[in-house]
Chain A
Amino acid sequence: MGPLFIFSDVPLWVDLLVALLIGIAFGFALEQAGFSSSRKLAGMFYGYDTTVLKVFFTAAIFALVGSLFMQYFGLLDLDLVYVNEYYIGAAVVGGIIMGAGFIMGGFCPGTGICAVGIGKIDAMIFLLGGFVGAFLFAESFPFIADFASGYYKGPVKINDWMGVSSGVFALILIIAAVAMFWLAEKAEKKFPNPNITNQF
């Protein structure tokens, strides 16, 4: 039963090797899906290319439903899988800053690293900016610590907060995603930009 490495005492290097292999699979999948192109990524915000939006939600839903099934069949104990801690203020403000960074830089950290892998110079500069951003955060942390660690709610699950079971929530999410994909298709027809879309 998983998570395997929490139940069994594997040496650190095995855990790190698995991290490397999972990273390779993640990077390969990102690149194949076209996430290494900043103009394709930005397309979802202008409606001309919504592949990224669809892949992103499909991946999240696949992992969610997959893990629920694995739990159901006794393969995985979800209580031991890390759930992100919820700091309301930090999550909202951090998200807004990231959105601004996204539309300026055209990458997020994961896709940026993937694009460095195929030689995009703009991605290398983006990553360099990322190092500076991490450094600035570390240096400014003492001044914003109260805000960053405030409004703490613990690792709250959204379905508990809404008072429904995880299966019901997954179903709601799938319906919402289908509606969104339908809108995305309409947007692509309305704002076509074949020069960018046909690169892949």
Chain B
Amino acid sequence: MLAAMYFSGRGLGASGGVKYAVVSVVGAVAPEHADKSVYYGSYFKDDKKPLKNWLVFEIIGVLVGGFLSGAFSGRLKLTIEHSPKISSKRRLIFAFLGGVFFVYGAQLARGCTSGAALSGMAVLSTAGFVTMVAIFGSAYLFAWFFRKNWI
């Protein structure tokens, strides 16, 4: 992270990369819709290519880095990890819902645990600290309802 600040003047991120991927798919599948929308439009201004982006390359790196680490430590395996008390299907349904919620919230807060909380705290941004407290506070609150999924 310090390297990212030193070379490129920015912190790390993850949800942003997901957003750029979606934006470019929408741009390719429904160019008219993308043109008309205030939201997508800004990503294609001046013939910009949303995939040629710092965050997109960074998350491809995260994927590769995770793979390399797993390979070195012998943890490469296609599995569904879940508590013995729940079925794989239940795990996957909740994983999907969690993904929807998390990235939706990350777009609203302009960053996820990496971009807003971790990198935000490192540059002392108030937004980073507030988002961090909100994420962890809400996860602790909701933890009781979902305890069966994990313990």
Which residues of A are at the interface with B, using a C-beta cutoff of 8 A?
2-6, 12, 15-32, 36-39, 42-43, 45-46, 48, 56, 59-60, 62-64, 66-67, 70, 75-76, 78, 80-88, 90-123, 125-138, 141-142, 144-145, 148, 153, 155-159, 161, 166, 169, 173, 193
Contacts and interface: CB of A to CB of B under 8 A. Distances in A.
A94 to B, nearest CB: 3
Given A19-B54, A60-B121, A134-B23, 19 more contacts: A3-B8, A15-B7, A67-B123, A80-B9, A91-B116, A91-B131, A94-B110, A99-B137, A104-B142, A108-B114, A113-B59, A117-B65, A121-B79, A121-B80, A133-B107, A134-B103, A137-B103, A157-B124, A157-B125
B21 to A, nearest CB: 7
A16 B56 CA distance: 9
A84 B12 contact: no
A130 B131 contact: no
B121 to A, nearest CB: 4
A22 B14 contact: no
Contact of A19 (B58, B73, B105, B124): B58
A41 to B, nearest CB: 9
Q: Chain A: interface secondary structure?
A: helix
B131 A133 contact: no
Contacts of B108: 90, 93-94, 97, 137, 144, 148
A18 B5 CA distance: 11
Contacts of A37: 81
B138 A98 contact: yes
A125 B79 CA distance: 12
A138 B59 contact: no
A59 B123 CA distance: 12
A121 B82 CA distance: 11
Contacts of A105: 94-99, 101-102
B25 to A, nearest CB: 8
Contacts of A4: 6-8
B63 A117 contact: yes
Contacts of B140: 45, 99
A108 to B, nearest CB: 4
Contacts of A81: 5, 9-11, 123
A46 to B, nearest CB: 6
Contacts of B62: 23-24, 26-27, 30, 110, 113-114, 117
A103 B68 contact: no
Contacts of A137: 19, 103-104, 107-108
A112 B131 CA distance: 19
B6 A75 contact: yes
Interface string B73-106: 1011111111100000001101111111111111
B66 to A, nearest CB: 3
Contact of B70 (A21, A46, A118): A118
B138 to A, nearest CB: 3
